[in-house]
Amino acid sequence: MTDVVRTGFRPSRVAIYGLLLLAALVYLIPLFIMLVTSFKTPMDIRTGNLMALPTDWTTAGWTKAWSEACTGVQCEGIRGYFWNSFKMTVPAVLISTLLGAFNGYVLSKWKFKGSDLFFGMLLFGCFVPFQVVLLPMAATLGKLGLANTTAGLVLVHVIYGVAFTTLFFRNYYVAIPDALIKAARLDGAGFFTIFFRILLPMSTPIFMVSLIWQFTQIWNDFLFGVVFASGDSQPITVALNNLVNTSTGVKEYNVDMAAAMIAALPTLVVYIVAGKYFIRGLTAGSVKG
Amino acid sequence: MEHTQRYPAGVTRAPSRFLDALQRWLPKLVVAPTFVLIGVGIYGYMLWTGVLSFTSSSFLPVYDFVGFDQYAKLMANDRWLTASLNLGIFGGLFILSCLVIGVILAIFLDQRIRQEGAIRTIYLYPMALSMIVTGTVWKWILNPSLGLEKLMHDWGWTSFSFDWLVSSDMAIYTIVMAAVWQASGFVMALFLAGLRGVDSSIIRAARVDGASLPLIYWKIILPSLRPVFFSAVMVLAHIAIKSFDLVMAMTAGGPGYSTDLPAVFMYAHTFTRGQMGLGSASAMLMLGAILALIVPYLYSELREKRHD
């Protein structure tokens, strides 16, 4: 519908660009504030203001956040928790995506009696507020000896992520003509042959969507982290929250902002590199099958 | 025909029958792990929490049946009422603001804008951040002494005062601000995708008839995006009901419990205050709220699909 709008006259164009740029500024300013504050000295923060550039740039906030800041009783910075998050996110993303790919394949190309019901159950599972599963899950993890472990968190993220990944793959594979599968079956290709030889080679985009969506969701999760992990197994989001809301000593906002930047960097980088897939995941997650 | 060629001559039918059976069972075997995980982890646990909400469990689960006692207690609980009211304020303002901002930005961005991709990327990046990061930054920006207030003083507006973050009446609105900053770009993306799908010939016809552009948007284009509105409201309401991280990062429910939301209430009572029964009841009510929202939605979705 773009060609219709060509008749717009000049002043209105200026107003449109003006508003769009103003909005862009509003979205960018918190990131700007976070960045400049993280490079200031505590002195600078007290005498300057939010938008002022640092009078002398220092990375002290970053090194302190990384390896010295207190996150509760311990004062070893957030680096350990940063790696915890990686150790939790990478396996959880891979397992949930792989499961989702196979589920989506079955639910679109190998339907059986009850498979639609199963899909409905999964779809509904995307909407359930996690509060209704927290307590039983905590009890189960305790019984399994997985309480307060990274493995426990991986399991939790796989369970509550697989509904989304299945949805992604199922909707993607539904659009692939059944005739293709039928022809392959007549040629004697079996379940796995069809998946690996026919579907997998054309699945790169949806794998990207699923991997990036899951990475962002799991890295950014706070609820599961705060309920199912404690101490050494906490993910970065929980550590960041502890660091910022610890009330001991003088508040060092440069350290807070540096820690927030460190927690945000992995997902920001992924967004900048592969934003297209992230947006597809967002819209696919909301506009369902 | 080729099917038979896969087996060397002389092989009897038995193994091929076994393979056929395997082939038939394979799809079910492949989804079985997920079926178990979801069946237990979502549906089983949901039931379990439901059962707990009818017991007097405090620090440990006990399975005595006390009927609707916990729900009655919840309804008489000041903190729960505040949390529910806050959800109304927060959810209402959050959804409305995101919709208005998202729609306006999408319409403006759909006017053959140069660098559209870059601008879109900027509007959407907050969605990639953790709510804890968002909360941390906004808490700093709204810091009553060193934040926005000091900035305005430095810029010459010396009477400016902004202490919403620590005011029990206003703190909930600071959470709305941060949440809108984070999610409005997402609504923009949904509507922009919707606008791109609008049939331009209808609009051309309306223009020929002399309708102005704003009128066309208001009367023709936006009404045709009704499904997008529904999706957006669904997702936003869902985010609002589950909101937890942002509150924990910005106010931890304070001052007092003035910024409690149901999710914060549930967490506090179940995991720190040793009132499992009450916490479970609040979780079930959250589930009820979501059900009331999505059952009609999914129903209409699936019905539409059958008509296609």
Q: What is the rounded distance in angstroms from the CA atom of residue A197 to the CA atom of residue A184?
A: 10
To the nearest whole Å, the CA of B283 is away from the closest chain A CA by 5
Q: Exposed, middle or buried by CB within 10 Å (0-12, 13-18, 19+), for B275?
A: buried
Residues A186 and A254 occupy one common structural domain: yes
pLDDT of residue A287: 47
Q: Which of A83-92, B53-62, B141-150, B293-302 has the lowest mean pLDDT?
A: B293-302
Neighbours of A97 (CB within 10 A): 26
**B187 CB within 8 Å of a chain A CB:** no
Domain count, chain A: 2
Residue A188: closest C-alpha in chain B: B3
Residues A9 and A139 occupy one common structural domain: no
Cβ B140–A5 below 8 Å, yes or no?
no
Residues A133 and A261 occupy one common structural domain: yes
A125-177 pLDDT, tens per residue? 888 999 999 999 999 999 999 989 999 999 999 999 999 999 999 989 998 99
Q: Which residue has the higher pLDDT, A188 or A288?
A: A188
Q: What is the rounded distance in angstroms from the CA atom of residue A47 to the CA atom of residue A40?
A: 11
Domain that holds residue A166: 79-287
Q: What is the rounded distance in angstroms from the CA atom of residue A96 to the CA atom of residue A277?
A: 17
* Confidence band of B1 (pLDDT split at 50, 70, 90): very low
Contact A100, A210 (CB under 8 A): yes
Cβ A134–B151 below 8 Å, yes or no?
no
Give, in degrees to the nearest 5, the angle at Cα B59 between B56 and B64: 25
Residues A11 and A123 occupy one common structural domain: no
Rounded to 10 deg, the angle between the A253-287 and A204-220 helix axes is 140
pLDDT of residue B46: 95
To the nearest whole Å, the CA of A107 is away from the closest chain B CA by 9
Average pLDDT, chain B: 87
- Provide mean pLDDT across the span B28-41: 93
Q: What is the rounded distance in angstroms from the CA atom of residue A18 to the CA atom of residue A32?
A: 20
pLDDT of residue A43: 86
Q: First-to-last CA distance in chain A?
A: 26
- Provide mean pLDDT across the span A66-83: 86
Residues A54 and A85 occupy one common structural domain: no
B236-263 pLDDT, tens per residue? 998 898 889 999 999 988 788 899 999 9
Q: What is the rounded distance in angstroms from the CA atom of residue B121 to the CA atom of residue A285?
A: 19
To the nearest whole Å, the CA of B97 is away from the closest chain A CA by 14
Cβ A159–B41 below 8 Å, yes or no?
yes
Cβ B146–A110 below 8 Å, yes or no?
no
- Provide mean pLDDT across the span A249-266: 91
Q: What is the rounded distance in angstroms from the CA atom of residue A110 to the CA atom of residue A118?
A: 13
Contact A88, A220 (CB under 8 A): no
CB contact residues (below 8 A), chain B span 85-124, against chain A: 101, 104-105, 108-113, 119, 121-124
pLDDT of residue B5: 43
- Give Cα A49 distance to the centre of its chain: 32
pLDDT of residue B82: 93
Sequence-distant (≥ 6) Cβ neighbours of residue A143 within 8 angstroms: none
pTM, to two decimals: 0.89
Measured CA distances, B257 to B85, B86, B168, B248 (Å): 12, 10, 8, 12
Residues A20 and A119 occupy one common structural domain: no
Cβ B146–A286 below 8 Å, yes or no?
no
Q: Which residue has the higher pLDDT, A207 or A246?
A: A207
Sequence-distant (≥ 6) Cβ neighbours of residue B177 within 8 angstroms: B138, B142
Residues A141 and A31 occupy one common structural domain: no
Quote the tokens at residue B93. Answer: 């303002």
Query: In order of start, what are the domains of chain B with their CATH numbers?
Result: 2-52 (no CATH), 74-307 (1.10.3720.10)
Residues A13 and A45 occupy one common structural domain: yes
Residue reference for tokens 């609820």: A223
